[in-house]
A and B are shown apart, each in its own frame.
Chain A
């Protein structure tokens, strides 16, 4: 099992009047190579769950084992290594570094990974081309639209071809055409590289392209079902052929 969380709670301001149970006892198992959509209303706890799955946050209670390793036991250095090598994270709010241009932002995780400069250049440009942002490589985030920043953030997550990609509303700021294009990229990675994809959305039509749909409400998983295969292909490939 790649991802295995058991009875995970994330409770803010525990014991106070303002207590919020963002995650209220969540258990979830995701296998290598799955394409999972997590869907739910605003405030239901999707981002909270994703942050914990991406090792960006720790649960208040509960266990998390990633690829057989107990994540809660790991040191800061080991967690950094996992975030760098195993997971490509696409944030809901882009989270680009404002002082760096598109190219440098995409390059950053590769630098921390220790990829040589020549290889980096190829990988960065390939990723930027995939999201159709190669012509904006020298632009800073402040010089880009929200959708463009979103695409650079996606390029940053996919550049190193990590085995897991976690995307928090990756199409939220995009028009339907560009949104579809981004979905296509994720599907291609999934099909060609076997990348495990976890995709957060509140859009049913996007969730419908996934193999599995997990529904979350008020911090609890309320539904978890495999998706109809035909629908996946028709949306992801605009009725085209699939595996």
Chain B
């Protein structure tokens, strides 16, 4: 008997749903092996994680709050990914959003207080957009590789943020972080810990879905992503659209940074680069660039984080175990995507 990988004649919708599901189960089993090896009961551990992520209203709220920046960054990078533009700079764009809103809150005091929040969000969004527009422009104009530029720009943005909250914009008291935003300008909480950012995130999901699937621009992005040569021949400007898509992508990631800062830390401080932008890449990828699917993926990824915290407390497992389990989710899922297009075939060798 031998096993061969055969290309599927056609791609089926059912497989596209079934395969991620099976992959998820496989990753749970892999996780179980790791857990057993570190002498814990996997069922108990998963139970603790589930409980930690969704066990009561407060934990559930916390998971939702965690999922919002992931969702927004996922939506943001997803737009660039449609063009096969590998924007891995969401982290930096997110940080710029946080810097932008802090700048407004701290220095634009000529504004009436109720205006601080909307203007701050807009400025954060704009800075994120500009920061992303640069690698977009470099790629469009001189074909500068975007993976490199977007990645490097992350570190510039993070370095700048550190300089600001440790040094330049530091509050007089305390050793790190800018002064707290005026309380009236915080993004309000609407259900326990869940803040109004959830409306912004969900509105973005609907908006992007409409933009990508219903408009001429969405149609053009789809063409460019799937065959740039054909798109150009049909009169679609590739350069212009790369820049536009990157600007939109960065605007959303930037907005995500401003929203989160206005809702949670209420100032620029350590932890602003929490990795939402990087996890956003995974969200975009696993959701197949579908905005609605991103919601589900973002919640699952957030639950893995919040659940891992519980794991640490309830099971006395090291903190890194949570990260190990998160990693284990990804591998089978990415490997699984191969089987959307290919299948395994078992062939019985006949006696010759």
Q: Do A and B come from one complex?
A: no
